[in-house]
């Protein structure tokens, strides 16, 4: 019997076995998440005086507890996640003893209490942390003489920070860009060194307002370029659509855009975090995305003790400085990560088509860069964008995954960014109007 026939004969039984094992594992996780729901409510009441509301309750009950958010701002995936035991009324017997409420002004007992993580409690006028690089001198090019410096805003992805850009792109910028560009690398709300308020639901609107309050308004930006990676792409698209008259270009790296048919955000969750055991990364994503209380356990063990874990890793690796992505991975709270995941990545998907149409009509230069080996964000996401914005430039990087689309090729990536910015910088006439009436469609490119 040939190896190929042998493999075919075993493929179906193997698939059935994996499916059965997957069913059992996720059934156990469903039970554990419901059990932890009860446990956390009693512990929260013990330490904080009242239990924190969670999404095991009905949508109507949760909306009453939250308040202040309009229709459609909160993702349906917060309430519609399937759980076998919840649907059987597993939690019903304990509801009468639960006293849920706000508690928005105190830090969760399960969150980190370091100075950075508590900054939102000490700062009445909360603003985002960002790294700002000012140009070393005024623009001297003859074609652009007298024009102010160009502005670029960088937005990172999920569980990252501004370091994603300051450690990769910033060191590789040319002298010309360093002289003539103002650069803003932002820590998004709830991540890095930015505030992580407990009374915030981390919707798209919340993220946009904080970027405007922290950067766009204080620095009086009258025009800017946007560069974003992964989840940050969705925030960048929304920001660009809101300020379509100010935006010059938007570069999206591995954008997780899944069209949400009829506003069904659950489809996005099932696509990006399908409940499967294999591959391991997908299992980890589904574990943290579908299970609110199990995810809180992970954050309690890891994020709450991020300083201790950093010391342990430094000791084991004998390195004084850890890789920035290792540091960023724990710089959030469960509340900030959970709500950003659902309200931005899943819930925000239903708004993206309208935002992209605004950019297309405004003639904004849209550039999409994606790795062909990306196992986090499907390659079809970039194709989805080009279907709505036919003029978008889509470049597929061969043998690159979600991170190596930039990491390991920092210099080439930075040169590409500079080319995008400089191709637009001098296209404006003296009265400030764009001399280029339209952008012509560009076919999909494949780069090495």
pLDDT tens readout for residues 195-206:
999 889 999 999
> Residue 326: which CATH number?
3.40.50.1820
Could you give the CA distance from residue 253 to residue 204 in angstroms, rounded to a whole number? 19
Could you give the CA distance from residue 280 to residue 40 in angstroms, rounded to a whole number? 27
168 pLDDT more than 50: yes
* Percentage of the chain lying above the pLDDT 90 cut: 59
Does the residue 44 lie in any domain? no
Which residue among the candidates 230, 249, 265, 286 is catalytic per the annotation?
230
pLDDT of 2: 47
Q: 5 pLDDT band (50/70/90 cuts)?
A: very low
**Residue 334 annotated among the catalytic residues of the structure:** no
**Residue 335 annotated among the catalytic residues of the structure:** no
Could you give the CA distance from residue 49 to residue 142 in angstroms, rounded to a whole number? 66
From the centroid of its chain, how far is CA 11?
Answer: 36
Does the residue 162 lie in any domain? yes
Q: 320 pLDDT band (50/70/90 cuts)?
A: confident
Total residues found in the chain within this entry = 448
C-beta neighbour count of 379 within 10 angstroms: 15
Mean pLDDT of 383-393: 95
**Residue 161 annotated among the catalytic residues of the structure:** no
Could you give the CA distance from residue 302 to residue 285 in angstroms, rounded to a whole number? 16
94 pLDDT more than 60: no
pLDDT digits (tens, 9 = 90+) for 212-243: 999 999 999 999 999 999 999 999 999 999 99
At residue 393, the 3 state secondary structure works out as: strand
Q: Which tokens go with 98?
A: 């639960």
Mean pLDDT of 68-73: 70
**Residue 374 annotated among the catalytic residues of the structure:** yes
Mean pLDDT of 178-200: 94
DSSP lists the bridge partners of residue 155 as 186, 228
Does the residue 203 lie in any domain? yes
437 pLDDT more than 50: no
Contact yes or no for 251/257 (Cβ under 8 A) = no
Q: 65 pLDDT band (50/70/90 cuts)?
A: low
Location of structure tokens 């006439």:
429
Which residue among the candidates 306, 374, 382, 403 is catalytic per the annotation?
374
Q: Which tokens go with 187?
A: 């820590």
Can you give the pTM of this predicted structure?
0.89
Which DSSP category does 257 fall into?
-
Does the residue 344 lie in any domain? yes
Structurally, the chain folds into a number of domains equal to: 1
Does the residue 293 lie in any domain? no
Does the residue 364 lie in any domain? yes
pLDDT of 427: 61
Does the residue 81 lie in any domain? no
Which residue among the candidates 156, 225, 293, 335 is catalytic per the annotation?
156
Q: Which domain holds residue 227?
A: 115-136+148-276+304-429
pLDDT of 279: 82
293 pLDDT more than 90: yes
Mean pLDDT of 48-64: 71
Does the residue 83 lie in any domain? no
């Amino acid at each position: 019997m040939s190896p190929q026939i042998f493999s075919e004969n075993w493929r179906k039984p193997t698939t059935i076995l994996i499916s059965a094992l997957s069913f059992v594992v996720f059934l156990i996780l469903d039970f554990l998440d419901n059990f932890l729901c009860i446990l956390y409510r009693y512990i929260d009441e013990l330490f904080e005086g009242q239990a924190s509301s969670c999404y095991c309750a009905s949508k109507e009950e949760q909306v009453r507890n939250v308040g202040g958010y309009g229709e459609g701002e909160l993702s349906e995936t917060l309430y519609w996640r399937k759980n076998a035991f919840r649907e059987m009324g597993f939690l019903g017997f304990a509801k009468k003893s639960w006293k849920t409420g706000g508690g928005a002004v105190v830090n969760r007992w399960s969150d980190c209490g370091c100075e950075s993580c508590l900054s939102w409690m000490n700062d009445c006028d909360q603003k985002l942390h960002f790294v700002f690089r000012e140009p070393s001198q005024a623009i001297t090019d003859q074609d652009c003489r007298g024009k102010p410096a160009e502005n670029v805003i960088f937005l990172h992805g999920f569980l990252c920070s501004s370091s994603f850009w300051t450690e990769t792109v910033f060191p590789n910028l040319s002298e010309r860009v360093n002289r003539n560009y103002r650069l803003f690398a932002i820590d998004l709300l709830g991540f890095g060194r930015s505030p992580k308020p407990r009374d915030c639901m981390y919707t798209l609107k919340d993220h946009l307002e904080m970027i405007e309050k922290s950067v766009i308004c204080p620095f009086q930006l009258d025009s800017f370029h946007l560069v974003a990676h992964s989840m940050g792409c969705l925030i960048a698209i929304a920001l660009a659509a809101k300020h379509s008259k100010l935006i010059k270009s938007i570069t999206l790296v591995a954008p997780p855009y899944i069209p949400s048919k009829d506003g069904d955000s659950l489809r996005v969750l099932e696509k990006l975090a399908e409940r499967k055991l294999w591959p391991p990364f997908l299992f980890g994503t589904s574990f943290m995305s579908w299970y609110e209380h199990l995810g809180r356990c992970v954050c309690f063990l890891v994020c709450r003790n991020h300083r201790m874990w950093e010391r342990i890793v430094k000791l084991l690796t004998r390195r004084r400085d850890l890789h920035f992505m290792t540091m960023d991975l724990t710089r959030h709270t469960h509340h900030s990560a959970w709500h950003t995941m659902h309200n931005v990545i899943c819930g925000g998907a239903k708004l993206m088509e309208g935002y992209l149409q605004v950019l297309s009509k405004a003639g904004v230069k849209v550039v999409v860069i994606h790795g062909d080996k990306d196992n986090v964000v499907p390659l079809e996401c970039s194709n989805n964008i080009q279907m709505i914005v036919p003029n978008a430039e889509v470049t597929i990087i061969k043998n690159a995954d979600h991170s190596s689309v930039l990491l390991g090729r920092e210099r080439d990536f930075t040169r590409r960014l500079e080319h995008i910015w400089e191709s637009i910088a001098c296209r404006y006439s003296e009265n400030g109007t764009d001399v280029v009436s339209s952008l012509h469609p560009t076919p999909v490119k494949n780069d090495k």
